[in-house]
Amino acid sequence: MERGELAGKTIVLGLTGGIACYKSAELTRLLIKAGATVQVVMTEAATQFITPLTMQALSGRPVFTSQWDNRIDNNMAHIDLSREADAILIAPASTDFLAKLAHGMADDLLSTLCVARDCPLLVAPAMNRQMWANPATQRNAATLRGDGIAILGPGSGDQACGEIGDGRMLEPEDLYEALAGFFQPKRLAGRRVLITAGPTFEPIDPVRGLTNRSSGKMGFALARAAAQAGADVHLVAGPTSLATPYGVTRSNVQTAQQMYDAVMADVSRNDIFIAVAAVADWRVRDVAHDKIKKTGDADVPTLEFVQNPDILAAVAQLPKPPFCVGFAAESGDLEKHGAQKRQRKQVPLLVGNLGPATFGQDDNEVILFDEAGQKRLPRADKQALARSLIIEIAARLPSRTPG
């Protein structure tokens, strides 16, 4: 979740009857934190699982449950509520509600406002696995997809009834991410993006190693922004505890050599390669099999290093390279070093930043270097910056050859 990401957006959050209603309380909090206005509408059945009072307190707005509600001036809640919305999200969406939507039924406020809507509709099914697998439900889900309604999930796992299988409502964080992504322009639709992120860890012995202060935040933010822009994203991450962004495939590695191997195994199918990782330039030549023991005051071990492969340069030199984007972490004179590094690595775009001012921070300031020269992007938090970088990358992509 990113603060302010949904500022100015109004979401009608519809709850239908299901135990997953408790997750919608948390979802409401996330949407509010992101700056959205949340108008909750509940079916009669939903009020059996969570009270309108709880949802009102969390959303900060009165909850609507009845089409006969006279709080709206013209008494047409089903029209007014949908006209104010940028999107309607039904979470949880019960078996019954999916069936009603598929048939355009309108016998309560929530179903009526869905039929009367003039904005996108997203549904998050939540039901027992047999109910989800039932051919009628699957038919209804197919009809909804055909009507342009986004079906989020369902997830798989333990169910409230004690059974295990498909039908769980997605977790609130995932629903939030799906909705936030929904609002982003699909600049990278149909593109595959490979990203390296985080530090590497080069072992000295089984308990010690060399690493650096990269947190991985910038690379993870770029992976999230690329996925939100519609790309199929593979993130190769060094050791970091950051959560995998929604919809992103992740491979975990430790050393520069492992990162190189993971990238080389996948790179040929990608349209874009973004090297954000702070890759260790050197590794220890002979990694000790056992822990190096302290034997005496004067006896200090000497480490000998060998150079690691340069992943970005290797990808850029492939016969048919993807569009390559490098990062440069410098400690000073960024304008000179950035331009030189772009030349040296032979990449079309290089993003320069000052390492000490960015490592571990939530915001960053960068200069873009390309063949036309330099462009400075204003200081911003890493997620906003990632979105700007995706726009810059998308604008520079060679257009696709037909076929």
Residues 215, 243: contact at Cβ < 8 Å? Answer: no
Residues 97 and 125: their CA atoms lie apart, in Å, by: 9
Closest approach, Cβ 361 to ligand CTP, in A, equals 17
Q: Report residue 355 as tokens.
A: 């390492």
Residues 107 and 109: their CA atoms lie apart, in Å, by: 7
Q: Is 345 annotated as a binding residue?
A: yes
Indicate the residue type of 386.
A
Closest approach, Cβ 191 to ligand CTP, in A, equals 19
The nearer residue to ligand CTP, 194 or 329, going by C-beta atoms, is 329
The nearer residue to ligand CTP, 80 or 310, going by C-beta atoms, is 310
Buried residues in 245-284 as b, exposed as e (16+ CB within 10 A): bbbbebbebbbbbbbbbbbeebbeebbbbbbbbbbbeebb
Q: Is 232 annotated as a binding residue?
A: no
Closest approach, Cβ 284 to ligand CTP, in A, equals 15
- Name the active-site residue from 21, 114, 119, 161: 161
Q: Is 327 annotated as a binding residue?
A: yes
Closest approach, Cβ 259 to ligand CTP, in A, equals 8
Q: Is 312 annotated as a binding residue?
A: yes
Closest approach, Cβ 308 to ligand CTP, in A, equals 5
Residues 90 and 106: their CA atoms lie apart, in Å, by: 15
Residues 352 and 382: their CA atoms lie apart, in Å, by: 14
Q: Is 164 annotated as a binding residue?
A: no
Using CB under 6 A as the criterion, which residues of the chain lie in contact with ligand CTP when the complex forms? 196, 256, 275-277, 279, 281, 308, 310-312, 326-329
Closest CA to 39 of 1, 77, 96: 77
The nearer residue to ligand CTP, 46 or 280, going by C-beta atoms, is 280
Residues 232 and 230: their CA atoms lie apart, in Å, by: 7
Q: Is 161 a catalytic residue?
A: yes
Q: Is 23 annotated as a binding residue?
A: no
Q: Please measure the distance between the N-terminal and C-terminal CA atoms of the chain and give it in whole angstroms.
A: 38
Residues 237, 263: contact at Cβ < 8 Å? Answer: no
Catalytic residues: 161
Annotated binding-site ranges for CTP? 281, 291, 309-312, 327, 341, 345
Which residues carry a binding-site annotation? 281, 291, 309-312, 327, 341, 345
